[in-house]
Structure 1
Amino acid sequence: MTTGHSKNPDQDSSNGGVSGFFVPDLCRVRSVFMLVISSELMVMLLAMAHARGQWIDWNYFGLVSLLVQWTVLTSAALICLARPWLTGLTTTRATLAMVILVIADVLLFSGVATRFLYPGETAAQWQAVGKSLLIAVIATLMVLRYFYLQHQWRQQKQAEMTYRLTALQARIHPHFLFNSMNTIASLIGTRPEQAEDAVLDLSELFRASLNTSERLVPLKEELALCRRYLALEQLRLGERLRVDWRTDDALNDQAIPPLTLQPLVENAIYHGIQPRPEGGTVVIESQRSGQYVYLLVQNPKPDSGASNHQGNRVAIRNIQARIQALFGETAVLKHSHQGELYTVTLRLPWQTTGTSR
């Protein structure tokens, strides 16, 4: 077995990164709670198997539970303390080291416990210790195997998310590029300053599409990218394109995947503004309600069938997959029709990037 590699091998980043060490941080309350519950279920099964003439041997359950919980909690504490050292080892060596730690811990506690359970019976004591060690080794290897498989699964999901992000960020519509270049060419002779600004906006869009190192960026950066994109489209569409900004500056540091709003704004223009001779208004809104942040992109209702355009569906599915991979099921992307308006709503958990960019 081999572990994945990341810039920091022992960092579970809040933005969806996967730790390079396959064992979760056992210093966390959730990890300890899961270990306690799992070990108690195992003890209950042993007590049921040990019972004679009843469903469960409660005396046996109590004694074994006490021993198991002590060993589980102390072993978890030892692994937690040794984690900085373990992360520098290979998977095989780290597994061996953790098994040795558990064996030493179980040997200590079972050796003390058997002296009280089997006083003066040396053979029974050694037999009980041997059984405890065998059970501990088997259980430890099973738990570590489970942790490893979970880690591999998380790495695979992370790789898939990275691929989707790269594919989306690398996708700038050829017709958008051609239209932008034609617009810039037409401005060079008559309005050179606007042409220069348009070149800068276009280069910023390309920079964002090629930068795949960031998983989350502040909302203000994504909004700034949308403004650059809209500035280019404004040159092409003129008065046909109107934008209504309803953004809350208090949400500037909200964490959002890069190139999340821009494709939604692009869809709003291509399917809601461009086909209409009279154009229309694109509304971009951000608001917070409780522990959630809502981002809305609204445009005139597309012509019949336009909202089902393949590019539109791909963009929405892609964004939905990315936000759920980063934030879980609390992140939602939905679209709706209300009269003559088409609205895409993005719900994200309130979370800041922790940067001052």
Structure 2
Amino acid sequence: MSKRPTASRPAEALSNDFFVPDLCRVRAVFMLLVTSELMVLLLAVVHSQNQWIDWNYFGLLSLFVQWTVLTSAALICILRPWFSRLSTARATILITLLVLADVFAFSLFADNVLNPEPGITGWLAIGKKLLAALIITLMVLRYFYLQFQWQQQRQSEMQARLAALQARIHPHFLFNSMNTIASLISTRPEQAEDAVLDLSELFRASLRTQDRLISLDEELALCRRYLMIEGLRLGDRLEVDWQVEAGLERQAIPPLTLQPLVENAIYHGIQPNPKGGTVRIVGYRRGDSVYVLVQNPKPTDDQRRHNGNRMALDNIQSRLLALFGETAVLKQSHQNDIYTVTLRLPKHTVPSQGRQTRLSPH
């Protein structure tokens, strides 16, 4: 267990990079209480001799455990920003000592109140409680540490998938765009200049891997730049229909989510068709979800779909699952001659003052 860097970083960033979860959250406290209550129930069953459960023992032990769990969680919650600046080993030791001190204080209180022989402290019983608290605390901290490591690995894999998606976008699109720009330089230099600016913005966005979430408005702007460049190449064969509901500008979305879907619509629905077609982008809210649809003409049976299409969809779905869980869905459907990719996102917004990675309820 290595020492964490203590360079000047915001307190919130340090707190988020800590293996112990935020015990101020209701869900975390609820899980601790439920787990501890199940353990008390098991001990009451084992302790009982003439019946299934010794209810008197269960009630007293449950009261003791719940009070120690709640007070320990509150203390760890208050001191968590300070613990997060320590090494993992040192934080583990201090948190364990904190829990033991809390258990010891409540044990002395319970012993004074419930002891049938006043003035005589039951040190053996207190020692057993401390030993049990030590073992359980170390087991819980070990679980938190493994969960933290798993989450870190999951985030690394997500970044690797994003990098793979970006690498797939670059080659063929870059070559086609440069050829288009070269053909415009002598005849339409202003359009060539605009195309260069659009292309630079696209690749600037593709290199911006530090953002986990951006606004839907930014992602749609990226799609518009991409479609402007493809429109120069495809001409009248490409039509775009925008049907995005107002008020969705700050909806949170992972970067490079819609642009690959629009790219697939061009390369599998418009480019192979001599007559071209329409790419339709639809966005609307329904309940607690936001839906974004990308539609294009369905490819004919003899047109082979590229492997990159499947890879892009898999990458996007993996990133959605990592960021939003099961509340985000990516699915494909065919109806008549229209191929539709539907993206469902939980309704969250990003702050307007800049690109952030934290989710805030809408």
The root-mean-square deviation of aligned C-alpha atoms, in Å, is 1.9
In structure 2, runs of 5+ residues without a counterpart are 355-362
Asked if the contact 2:4–2:87 (Cα under 8 Å) also holds between the matched residues in 1, the reply is: no
Aligned to 1:22: 19
Q: Distance in 1 between matches of 2:151 and 2:10?
A: 16
1:3/1:218 CA distance change after superposition, 3 Å: farther
Q: Specify the alignment match of 1:34 in structure 2.
A: 31
Q: CA separation in 2, counterparts of 1:172 and 1:80?
A: 44
Q: Which residue of 1 aligns with 2:256?
A: 259
Deviation for aligned residue 1:11: 4.5
Secondary structure at 2:139's aligned position in 1? helix
**2:128 corresponds to which residue?**
131
The 8 Å contact of residues 22 and 28 in structure 2, kept in 1 or not, is answered as yes
Alignment partner, residue 120 of structure 1: 117
- The one-letter amino acid of 2:190's match is E
Q: Does 1:315 align with 2:312?
A: yes
Distance in 1 between residues matched to 2:30 and 2:351, nearest whole Å: 29
> How is 1:143-162 mapped onto 2 (pairs within 5 angstroms)?
143-162=140-159
Distance 2:309 2:302 in 1: 11
For the pair 1:174 / 2:146, whether they are aligned, the reply is no
1:105 aligned onto 2:95: no
The CA deviation at 1:19 is 2.4
Alignment of 1:38-117 (within 5 A): 38-117=35-114
Task: Give the structure-1-normalised TM-score.
Answer: 0.94
Instruction: For 1:249 and 1:311, locate their aligned partners in 2 and report how far apart those are by CA, in whole Å.
Output: 32
Deviation of 1:115 after TM superposition, in Å, equals 2.3
What amino acid does structure 1 have at the position aligned with 2:143?
Y
Partner-residue secondary structure (3-state), 1:190: coil
Counterpart secondary structure, 2:212: coil
Change in Cα spacing, 1:128 to 1:95, as seen in structure 2 (3 Å) is same
Map of 1:15 onto structure 2 = none
Do 1:170 and 1:210's aligned partners in 2 also have CA atoms closer than 8 Å?
A: no
Alignment of 1:292 with 2:295, yes or no, is no
CA shift digits 1:242-300 (9 cap, x unpaired): 00111123101101111110100000010000011110000011001011000000000
Cα separation, 1, equivalents of 2:298 and 2:41: 60
Instruction: Give the distance between the partners of 2:3 and 2:302, measured in 1 at CA.
Output: 47
Which residue type is aligned with residue 182 of structure 1?
A: N
Give the distance between the partners of 2:171 and 2:71, measured in 1 at CA. 60
Q: Output one character per residue of 1:201-260: Cα deviation in whole Å (capped at 9) or x when no partner.
A: 111111111110111111111111111111111111000000011112310110111111
Counterpart contact for 1:169–1:212, Cα < 8 Å: no
Q: Which of 223, 246, 256 is residue 249 of structure 1 equivalent to?
A: 246
Note if 1:190 corresponds to 2:187. yes
Q: How does 1:187-336 map to 2 (within 5 A)?
A: 187-304=184-301, 306=303, 308-336=305-333
Shift of 1:158: 0.8
Distance 2:106 2:156 in 1: 42
Residue by residue, what CA displacement relative to the aligned partner does 1:74-132 show, whole Å, maximum 9, x if unpaired?
A: 11111111112111111111111111111111111101211233343777701111001
For 2:141 and 2:302, the matched residues in 1 are separated by: 52
One-letter amino acid matched to 1:325? A
Unaligned runs of at least 5 residues, structure 1: 13-17
CA distance in 1, matches of 2:240, 2:281: 8
- Counterparts of 1:90 and 1:307, CA distance in 2: 54
Deviation track 1:134-186 (CA, whole Å, cap 9, x = no partner) reads: 01111111111111111111111111111111221233242221111111111
What is the DSSP-based 3-state SS (H/G/I as helix, E as strand, rest coil) of the residue aligned with 1:250?
A: coil
Instruction: Give the partner amino acid of 1:63.
Output: L
Query: Structure 2 vs 1, CA of residues 3 and 220 (structure 1 numbering), >3 Å: closer, same or farther?
Result: farther
